[in-house]
């Protein structure tokens, strides 16, 4: 009988990763005492973990404050991750071209730990534009990018990704039953829309991206201020362009559109 992977976890490695993840939020620097409280570990253990990570360049100490912060190796690791993703390599020219056409911020996002995470962003060349934080976890249920991913997930995955008590961000945020209905429409139309469900004055439209296995591996989204992304503009201009760009990217990843159409027949 195969054992669960959780049975093979090395506690010290897990604690080291816990330390690193404390810096993923708003905290630029943290001291040993604060980390000890957060992780519920003895100060000596925290200090040894920090010393190990510091020796490898993943953590560095600010000599002026004696607090710790992320080291340069974290940046290098993140850059290596980005460079090795075929999705990004193929996506960059497509989203750059889309930004030139629509003059709105465009990004590629993927599903990570029950959130949608932008992994590449090209900003619009306008004084007023939306800035999509690279690498920030965004909610699935009230963003266009998130809904474009959810619409093609199997039912058992949706039960995990969409708990009953979905947090509300604005008055437009849908509850779970209404969202499930939305997702059916998204799957039929081939694109999703955010009409101020996450941020009141922000609108977005997104389409799924598939690879050669026909799996949805990401989403391509255009986002902008509400006064520029009217429902009419989204429907008549942006949605067709976003769907077209999503299909082009899918094709570059090996998704056979012709085969898909034949299978649908």
What CATH number does the domain containing 69 carry? Answer: 1.10.10.10
Q: Choose the final residue of a domain: 16, 50, 76.
A: 76
Average pLDDT of the chain is: 87
140 lies in the same domain as 256 = yes
Domain boundaries, position 96: 85-264
Residues 26 and 139 in one domain: no
Asked whether 182 and 195 are in contact (CB, 8 A), the reply is no
222 and 199 together in one domain: yes
**CA of residue 53 relative to chain centroid, distance:** 27
Residues 135 and 90 in one domain: yes
* Same domain membership, residue 109 and residue 58: no
Same domain, yes or no: 157 and 256: yes
52 and 183 co-located in one domain: no
CB atoms within 10 A of CB 229: 25
Residues above pLDDT 70, as percent of the chain: 90
pLDDT, tens digit, 9 for 90 and up, residues 89-147: 888 899 999 999 999 999 999 988 788 999 888 888 888 777 777 788 899 999 999 99
Residues 65 and 149 in one domain: no
Is there a single domain that holds both residue 153 and residue 235? yes
Answer whether 0.85 is exceeded by the pTM. Answer: no
Per-residue pLDDT tens over the stretch 10-23:
888 999 999 999 98
Confidence tier at 85 by pLDDT (50, 70, 90): low
Residues contacting residue 41 through CB under 8 Å, at least 6 positions apart = 15, 35, 49
Tokens of 231: 């429902």
Q: What's the total number of domains in the chain?
A: 2
Are 210 and 243 in the same domain?
yes
Judgement on whether residues 92 and 211 belong to the same structural domain of the protein: yes
Report the CATH number that the domain containing residue 246 is assigned in CATH.
Answer: 3.30.450.40
**Residues 124 and 154 both lie in one domain:** yes
């Amino acid at each position: 009988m195969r054992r669960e992977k959780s049975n093979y976890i090395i506690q010290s490695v897990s604690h080291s990763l816990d330390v690193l993840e404390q810096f993923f939020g708003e905290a630029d620097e943290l001291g040993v005492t604060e980390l000890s409280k957060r992780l519920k570990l003895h100060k000596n253990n925290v200090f040894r973990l920090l010393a190990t990570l510091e020796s490898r360049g993943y953590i560095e100490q600010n000599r002026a404050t004696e607090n710790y912060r992320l080291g340069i190796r974290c940046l290098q690791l993140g850059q290596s991750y980005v460079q090795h993703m075929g999705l990004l390599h193929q996506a960059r020219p497509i989203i750059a071209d889309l930004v030139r056409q629509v003059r709105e911020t465009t990004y590629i996002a993927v599903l990570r730990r029950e959130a949608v995470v932008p992994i590449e962003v090209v900003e619009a060349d306008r004084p007023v534009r939306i800035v999509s934080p690279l690498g920030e976890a965004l909610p699935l249920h009230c963003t266009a990018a998130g809904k474009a991913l959810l619409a093609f997930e199997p039912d058992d995955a949706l039960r995990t990704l969409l708990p009953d008590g979905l947090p509300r961000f604005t008055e437009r945020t849908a509850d779970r039953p209404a969202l499930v209905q939305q997702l059916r429409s998204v799957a039929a139309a081939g694109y999703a829309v955010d009409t101020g469900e996450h941020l009141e004055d922000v609108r977005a439209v997104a389409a799924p991206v598939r690879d050669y296995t026909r799996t949805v591996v990401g989403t391509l989204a255009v986002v902008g201020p509400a006064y520029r992304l009217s429902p009419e503009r989204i429907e008549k201009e942006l949605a067709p362009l976003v769907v077209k760009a999503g299909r082009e990217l899918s094709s570059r990843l090996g998704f056979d559109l012709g085969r898909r159409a034949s299978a649908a027949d």
